[in-house]
């Protein structure tokens, strides 16, 4: 199979869409300024209502997970697109026209139903839950949580949309509608909007989705909808919001590390698969519900949830260290935006190296928040790597080079003041 632009007449597909076509990832990237505008509005509304819905460490961790997911998407999205295109060009039952409003409407419903199927499966099968759990780890519920996504989720979710390509919907249509479905779900991640009257009957709303993020027994594995709550009502997975949920997962992550957030459930599954005595269970465990326990392993029930004595994970760090972390995060966030917007014009080696450095930086920011003893030393190493990057990308004897090196030296001095915060952690 020759890999080039999707062409129905030639029967060829591409690894990179050309022309005016946009992928789901690019639409999400284009919407980033709007996301942050809405987060800013929510912060103002939070102050006006005197309701605390954000924590600094939690929100930085949400954004770090989202950045990790977007970076991973840069390297896998093109292959997933090629999978849709190949299925469409070689196995589609029909070639459905792309210029009909009715077709787009039907596809909108089809994509939303496929999302419901994927989302429900991601809660009922370990391999899906391990990729999706990242989105549920936050113990807060606000718009930044919407950006908290699992880096490996695309490897699971893409399969559920293949039937649409098989039926005969153009992959570019599927990805466009899927992006709209994703963008819709951003605004429903808020505690500041109550119930919305008649809209509650057929749309997924903040109230319905708060239920989905609850760890209370009656709220577990409910309300899987993307846009339309009708799927949950029809298939028996709907739950009305009664009291506000306690947010998070039944076994709290207790870490601000975005890398560990993506791997911890996979590690737990590998450990259980290794220790279970039956070979069939070593395979079966990946496809069973998260609550399933292989024979031969001791029971391991989640901790009992007590609303009256519930405490969120919140290790305290000094204001100065918080400001240091925020300053570093702004630089990393800017680097991520640069990568997302200009990756196509970069050499693969450059984009891969920059991606690795960004994820390494986010890893250590999480470790600083967690007050890991080794994080202080690793941060100094990261700053030295920063100097190396500056020397690589800035011309010798330039003002930018000297300014950047001075900034790194200032960071080292600034960080040294807080060394004792990690001495006994």
Q: What are phi and psi of 277, to 5 degrees?
A: -75, -30
- DSSP category for residue 309: G
* 294 domain residue, yes or no: no
Q: Show which of 219, 235, 251 is a domain's final residue.
A: 235
pLDDT computed for residue 422 by the predictor: 79
- 342 and 222, same structural domain? no
Q: Which of 178, 2, 170, 3 is nearest to 87 (CA)?
A: 170
- 219 and 324, same structural domain? no
Residue reference for tokens 């306690």 = 246
pLDDT computed for residue 26 by the predictor: 66
Report whether pLDDT(348) > 80: yes
Q: Which of 325, 271, 316, 260 is nearest to 293 (CA)?
A: 271
Give the DSSP letter string of 42-77.
HHHHHHHHT-----HHHHHHHHHHHHHHHHHHHHHH
* 110 domain residue, yes or no: yes
- 341 and 226, same structural domain? no
Q: Show which of 235, 256, 283 is a domain's final residue.
A: 235
pLDDT computed for residue 330 by the predictor: 95
Tokens of 396: 């010798």
pLDDT digits over 239-261, tens only?
A: 999 999 999 999 999 999 999 99
- 333 and 222, same structural domain? no
* 181 domain residue, yes or no: yes
Q: What are phi and psi of 93, to 5 degrees?
A: -70, -35
Q: Show which of 205, 220, 235 is a domain's final residue.
A: 235
Cα angle value 339/152/38 (rounded, 5°): 60
- pLDDT > 90 fraction of the chain, expressed in percent and rounded: 67
Report whether pLDDT(399) > 80: no
pLDDT band at 394 (very low <50, low <70, confident <90, very high): low
CB 253 within 8 A of CB 264: yes
pLDDT computed for residue 379 by the predictor: 92
Give the DSSP letter string of 348-399.
HHHHHHHHHHHHHHHHHHHHHHHT-TTHHHHHHHHHHHHHHHHHHHS-TT-H
Lowest mean pLDDT among 86-100, 152-166, 176-190, 388-402: 388-402
Longest dimension (CA), the chain: 67
What is the residue range of 400's domain?
Answer: 319-422
- 368 and 221, same structural domain? no
* 212 domain residue, yes or no: yes
**Coil, strand or helix at 358:** helix
Which of 301 and 71 is assigned the larger pLDDT? 71
pLDDT computed for residue 425 by the predictor: 57
Residue reference for tokens 């039956």 = 278
CA distances from 185 to 143, 181, 350 (A): 10, 7, 33
- 231 and 324, same structural domain? no
Q: How many domains does the chain have?
A: 2
pLDDT computed for residue 28 by the predictor: 76
End-to-end C-alpha distance for the chain, whole angstroms: 55
pLDDT digits over 282-307, tens only?
A: 999 999 999 999 988 888 888 888 88
CA distances from 388 to 350, 398, 399, 411 (A): 14, 15, 16, 15
List for the chain the helix, strand, coil content (%; round to 5).
Answer: 65, 0, 35
Q: Which of 61, 175, 203, 69 is nearest to 132 (CA)?
A: 69
Report whether pLDDT(186) > 50: yes
* 257 domain residue, yes or no: no
pLDDT computed for residue 6 by the predictor: 52
Lowest mean pLDDT among 116-120, 299-303, 378-382: 299-303
- 221 and 72, same structural domain? yes
Which of 77 and 20 is assigned the larger pLDDT? 77
pLDDT digits over 5-54, tens only?
A: 355 444 444 433 444 444 444 677 788 899 999 999 999 999 898 888 99
Report whether pLDDT(407) > 50: yes
Q: Which of 33, 23, 21, 317 is nearest to 147 (CA)?
A: 33
Calculate the average pLDDT of the chain.
88
Residue 29: in which H helix or E strand, if any? helix 24-30
pLDDT computed for residue 336 by the predictor: 94
pLDDT band at 390 (very low <50, low <70, confident <90, very high): confident
Residue reference for tokens 């039952």 = 93
* 297 domain residue, yes or no: no
pLDDT computed for residue 20 by the predictor: 42
* 314 domain residue, yes or no: no
pTM for the whole structure: 0.89
* 243 domain residue, yes or no: no
CB 124 within 8 A of CB 221: yes
- 212 and 354, same structural domain? no
Q: Which of 343, 387, 372, 289 is nearest to 74 (CA)?
A: 343
| Distance from C-alpha of 262 to C-alpha of 103, rounded to nearest angstrom | 37
- 215 and 358, same structural domain? no
Angle between helices 348-370 and 375-393 (to 10 degrees): 150
């Amino acid at each position: 199979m020759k890999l080039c632009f999707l062409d129905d007449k030639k029967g060829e597909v591409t690894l990179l869409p050309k022309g005016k076509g946009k992928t789901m990832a690019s639409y999400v990237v284009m919407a980033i300024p709007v996301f942050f505008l809405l987060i800013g509005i929510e912060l103002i509304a939070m102050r006006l209502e005197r309701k605390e819905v954000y924590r600094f460490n939690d929100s930085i961790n949400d954004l770090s997970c989202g950045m990790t997911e977007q970076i991973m998407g840069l390297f896998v999205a093109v292959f997933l697109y090629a999978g849709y295109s190949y299925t469409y060009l070689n196995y589609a039952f029909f070639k459905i026209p792309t210029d009909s409003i009715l077709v787009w409407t039907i596809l909108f419903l089809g994509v939303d139903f496929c999302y419901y199927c994927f989302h429900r499966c991601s809660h009922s099968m370990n391999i899906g839950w391990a990729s999706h759990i990242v989105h549920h780890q936050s113990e807060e519920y606000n718009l930044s949580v919407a950006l908290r996504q699992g880096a490996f989720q695309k490897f699971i979710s893409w399969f559920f949309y293949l039937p649409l390509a098989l039926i005969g919907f153009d992959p570019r249509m599927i990805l466009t509608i899927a992006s709209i479905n994703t963008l819709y779900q951003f605004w429903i991640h808020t505690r500041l909007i109550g119930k919305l009257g008649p809209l509650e009957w057929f749309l997924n709303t903040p109230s319905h989705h708060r239920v989905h993020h609850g760890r209370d027994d009656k709220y577990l594995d409910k309300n899987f909808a993307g846009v339309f709550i009708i799927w949950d009502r029809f298939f028996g997975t709907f739950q009305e919001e009664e009291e506000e949920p306690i947010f998070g997962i039944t076994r709290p992550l207790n870490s601000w590390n975005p890398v560990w957030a993506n791997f911890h459930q996979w590690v737990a599954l590998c450990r259980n698969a290794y220790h279970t005595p039956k070979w069939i269970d070593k395979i079966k465990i990946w496809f069973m519900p998260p609550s399933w326990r292989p024979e031969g392993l001791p029971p391991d029930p989640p901790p009992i949830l007590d609303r009256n004595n519930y405490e969120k994970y919140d290790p305290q760090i000094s204001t100065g260290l918080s400001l240091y972390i925020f300053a570093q995060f702004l630089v990393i966030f800017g680097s991520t935006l640069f990568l997302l917007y200009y990756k196509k014009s970069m050499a693969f080696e450059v984009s891969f190296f920059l991606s690795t450095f960004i994820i390494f930086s986010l890893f250590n920011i999480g470790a600083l928040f967690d007050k890991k003893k080794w994080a202080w030393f690793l941060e100094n190493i990261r700053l030295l790597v920063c100097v190396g990057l500056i020397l690589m990308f800035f011309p010798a004897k330039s003002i930018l080079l000297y300014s950047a090196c001075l900034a790194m030296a200032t960071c080292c001095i600034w960080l040294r003041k807080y060394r004792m915060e990690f001495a006994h952690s």
